[in-house]
Copies of this chain bind each other. A is one copy, B any other.
Amino acid sequence: MSVIVQKYGGTSVADAARIQNVARRISVRQKAGDQLVVVVSAMGDTTDRLLSLAREITSHPEARELDLLLSTGETVSMTLVAMALHDLGLEAVSLSGAQAGLRTDKVHGKARILAVEPGRIHQELERGRVIIVSGFQGITEEEEVTTLGRGASDLTAVALAASLQAERCEIYTDVDGVYSADPRVAPDARKLLEISYEEMLEFASLGARVMNPRAVELGAVYNIPIVVASSFKDEPGTVIHGGADMEQGNRVRGIAHDLDVAKVTIRRVPDKPGIAARIFEALADRHVSVDTIVQNASVDRTTDLTFTVHVNDLPSASKVVEELSKDIGAGEIVADDSLGKVSIVGTGINSAPGYAARMFRTLSDDGVNIEMISTGEIRITVIIKRSDVDQAVRALHTAFELEKPDASEL
């Protein structure tokens, strides 16, 4: 009998009727002979409601208390799913992050999973029970509850799948798979039947909100096939894996975009060793994730250093660099919170000629000004004005003929 890990997101368990729907789906699969470990997120907008409750109390909720507070959201949904399964006559038990053995480090709010100790899960599976596990949370060596960051229930699911050597991990959400672009922006976007971990990672990192990038990464490391599908439909979703048949190469698979980009420029940074390290270490210490970094050629032994962050991180990022700029003898700080980014993603495209040129030409023909460019192994990304993003996505989707099926699907 094979173990399957499923994960249901917040919209899939948003109310009693949807929880009962999830229970019925689990029941069908369990009766078909699968051993199921099911990870759930908090119901609907619970996490946001708890956050605003905390903010009513204080503008700076302490991270340790906030983690305990937020962890209640998943505890509520997991117990309700277990009850709904009992109501269908199934044996089921819900387990907190602690009970499921999700050990993490101590970084409250953004904890990393150190190990999964699945003793209790194995024990419950042997008793024939469906296991419901609270997503998003873990426990430290000191028995303190931690959370893994927004959207990290995916990570819980993939970590459990790896630890249990599950056949696959199924992520059920409110979209029915991974598309060649956001269908709300590009109406002729197509659902991809399969995609490699690397491509999915780029999509996820670049703003496609289908799945948590850390979860994709973990799936790649442990080679766990991940299926992304809708919990509301009975349609096949997108399979994310690393198989040989993925080697299509030299083809743009999709367009990713992100509307929440902010840019910080530090003027006249002294051009000597160690300066960039100090800046990005200071940002890392405040848990600010930096995305694209661009440094201009040196003029007069100073240089302009620009980096992008999520708009929500802009206040922290600005504060860090304001503090540092005097120390390091740099000039003024310029921040811009009105940006977005658009990427083309596909294995091999960056090493093959012509993709970058076609991308820039398409944007230029559409009158879209490029502010920054960054490239990765399998993607090319441009930072542009937020107001240009939708138009850029549609233009690139058409230019790379993404409305046409992949060779493998013909």
* Interface, chain A (partner B; CB < 8 A): 16, 19-20, 50, 53-54, 56-62, 64-66, 68-69, 71-72, 75-76, 78-80, 82-84, 86-87, 93-94, 96, 98-99, 143
Contacts and interface: CB of A to CB of B under 8 A. Distances in A.
A65 B53 contact: no
A86 B66 CA distance: 12
A101 to B, nearest CB: 11
Contacts of A143: 98-99
Nearest to A132: B65
A20 B65 contact: no
Contacts of A62: 82-83, 86
Contacts of A16: 53, 56-57
B94 A76 contact: no
A61 to B, nearest CB: 5
Contacts of A87: 57-60
Which among A69, A93, A96, A143 has the highest number of chain B CB atoms within 10 Å? A69
A313 to B, nearest CB: 22
A69 B79 contact: yes
B65 A83 contact: yes
A58 B85 CA distance: 9
A64 B87 CA distance: 14
A70 to B, nearest CB: 9
Q: 7 smallest A-B Cβ distances: which pairs?
A: A16-B56, A58-B87, A72-B72, A69-B79, A65-B79, A65-B82, A68-B79
A143 B69 CA distance: 20
A16 B16 CA distance: 27
Given A60-B87, A66-B83, A72-B72, 16 more contacts: A16-B53, A16-B57, A19-B57, A20-B57, A53-B80, A57-B84, A61-B86, A62-B83, A65-B82, A65-B83, A65-B86, A66-B79, A68-B75, A68-B78, A69-B80, A71-B75
